[in-house]
């Protein structure tokens, strides 16, 4: 009975956490702030700690998750409608390099030292402060860099090259399995795909580790044998 009780709590807790994370949206991962990080930890702990307390049942677990989820969801709605609250809970971006000069006051305010700033800049392919015109510390801890004009990557317009239409690459085979939704999105069927991979000397999609389609280009195929 004890194992059955643990099983039921895990299943119910899993479903409840799944529903809450779906309700809260993708910002819990993709645009995580300090507040989001803490809220995600607490949400997991509410379920995890309940398994070690025999006095807490399913009703208590669901109640705790529901209340916490409502609080976080209410906070998200509030931050969307009230800019002042948004800055309080999520923080504001800080300009840590302004016109090529490090803003020491902003570094100190954000508890960032020079070495950490250099580390963040290197992640943006900026290995010297001389190349940096502006650097903005975002609310999730990442940094955005605007380089000085001599160090900026030239665009097609700058080079006066002819413009071409941009297309998204589409994955057609992944780990030996055909991605049928992607296949349909480009107007192909399975026979079309088989014909293309046969041209590359591959007998079956099961032999393909990865296959990518890009309009106007030959099908890119990597087999398990060619993988290092």
pLDDT, residue 206, reads: 92
pLDDT, residue 28, reads: 44
Note whether 177 and 196 are same-domain residues.
yes
Residue 156 lies in a domain: no
Note whether 6 and 53 are same-domain residues.
yes
Pairing label, strands 132-137, 94-98: antiparallel
Q: For residue range 33-82, list pLDDT tens digits in order.
A: 566 666 667 766 766 666 666 666 667 777 777 777 777 777 777 767 76
Residue 157 lies in a domain: no
Cβ contact 43:69 at 8 Å: yes
Mean pLDDT by 10 residues, the chain (228 residues): 67 70 54 62 68 66 75 74 64 87 90 89 91 89 90 84 85 92 93 92 92 92 80
Sequence-distant (≥ 6) Cβ neighbours of residue 222 within 8 angstroms: 208, 209, 210, 211
Note whether 31 and 84 are same-domain residues.
yes
Note whether 83 and 123 are same-domain residues.
no
Note whether 38 and 21 are same-domain residues.
yes
Instruction: For residue 22, give its domain range.
Output: 2-88
Residue 103 lies in a domain: yes
197 CB burial (10 A radius; 0-12, 13-18, 19+): buried
- Quote the pTM value: 0.58
Which residue pairs, CB below 8 angstroms and at least 24 apart, start in 175-183? 175/209, 175/210, 176/205, 176/206, 176/207, 176/208, 176/209, 176/224, 177/205, 178/205, 182/213
Strands of the sheet with 220-223, listed across from one edge = 177-178, 170-174, 208-213, 220-223
pLDDT, residue 226, reads: 75
Helix axes 83-90, 58-81, angle to 10 degrees: 120
Last residue of a domain, one of 67, 88, 109: 88
Counting Cα atoms < 13 Å in the Cβ hemisphere of 146 gives 11
Note whether 80 and 99 are same-domain residues.
no
Residue 64 lies in a domain: yes
Note whether 59 and 116 are same-domain residues.
no
Last residue of a domain, one of 42, 71, 88: 88
Residue 118 lies in a domain: yes
Note whether 21 and 74 are same-domain residues.
yes
Note whether 51 and 120 are same-domain residues.
no
pLDDT, residue 195, reads: 93
pLDDT, residue 29, reads: 47
Last residue of a domain, one of 57, 72, 88: 88
133 CB burial (10 A radius; 0-12, 13-18, 19+): middle
């Amino acid at each position: 009975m004890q194992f059955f009780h643990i099983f039921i709590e895990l299943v119910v807790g899993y479903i409840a956490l799944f529903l809450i994370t779906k309700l809260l949206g993708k910002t819990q991962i993709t645009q995580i702030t300090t507040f989001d990080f803490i809220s995600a930890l607490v949400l997991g702990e509410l379920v995890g700690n309940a398994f070690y307390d025999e006095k807490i049942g399913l009703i208590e677990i669901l109640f705790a998750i529901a209340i916490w989820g409502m609080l976080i969801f209410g906070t998200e709605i509030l931050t969307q409608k009230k800019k002042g609250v948004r800055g309080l809970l999520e923080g504001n971006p800080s300009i840590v390099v302004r016109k090529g000069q490090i803003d020491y006051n902003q570094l100190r305010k954000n508890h960032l030292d020079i070495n950490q700033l250099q580390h963040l800049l290197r992640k943006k392919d900026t290995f010297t402060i001389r190349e940096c015109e502006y650097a903005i510390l975002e609310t999730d801890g990442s940094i955005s860099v605007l380089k000085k004009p001599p160090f900026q990557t030239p665009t097609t317009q700058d080079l006066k090259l002819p413009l071409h239409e941009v297309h998204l690459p589409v994955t057609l085979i992944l780990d030996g399995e055909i991605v049928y939704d992607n296949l349909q999105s480009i107007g192909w069927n399975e026979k079309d795909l088989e014909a293309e991979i046969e041209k590359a000397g591959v007998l079956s999609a099961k032999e393909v580790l990865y296959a990518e389609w890009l309009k106007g280009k030959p099908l890119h195929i990597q087999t398990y044998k060619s993988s290092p």
